[in-house]
Amino acid sequence: MAFQEDRLPERDINTPEEEPKKKGKKKEGNFFTRMFSNLARWFREMKSELKKVVWPTKSQVLNNCIIVFVVVIVSAIVIWGFDQLAIYCVDALISLGG
């Protein structure tokens, strides 16, 4: 079997090399004006993103809250049950030794 070497494609000698593009953005104003303009832009972008949000209806929120409460109660009962079982097992082990 012949060994094949992975090679990069050879470049054409006649094409000029591409230079990395530099950001030509010049800093304008002092630190505070730049900070407040960036903060204002952030709030504008946040406002436009919040317009895209699909808010749930009142009935959906109520339904989700009920589901969360039921899951929390069931989880609490399961954890309580395991705790009672652990207490019973520890008491049984203590009574065997004493």
Instruction: Please state whether the predicted TM-score (pTM) of the whole model is above 0.75.
Output: no
pLDDT at 7 over 90: no
Determine the structural domain holding residue 86 and report its residue range.
54-98
DSSP letter string, 55-75:
PPPHHHHHHHHHHHHHHHHHH
Residue 4 falls inside a structural domain: no
Q: Over the stretch 31-75, which tens digit does the pLDDT of each residue have?
A: 888 888 899 999 999 999 999 999 999 999 999 999 999 999 999
Residue 46 tokens read as: 């946040």
In a domain, 61, yes or no: yes
**How many domains would you assign to the chain?**
1
Backbone angles phi, psi at 36, to 5 degrees: -70, -35
Q: Is residue 59 part of a domain?
A: yes
Instruction: Give the pLDDT score at 91.
Output: 94
For 87, the 3-state DSSP assignment is helix
Please give the DSSP secondary-structure letter assigned to residue 29. Answer: S
| DSSP code, position 4 | P
- The answer to whether residue 77 sits within a structural domain is yes
Average pLDDT, the chain: 84
Task: Give the pLDDT confidence score for residue 39 in this predicted structure.
Answer: 92
The answer as to whether 62 is a domain residue is yes
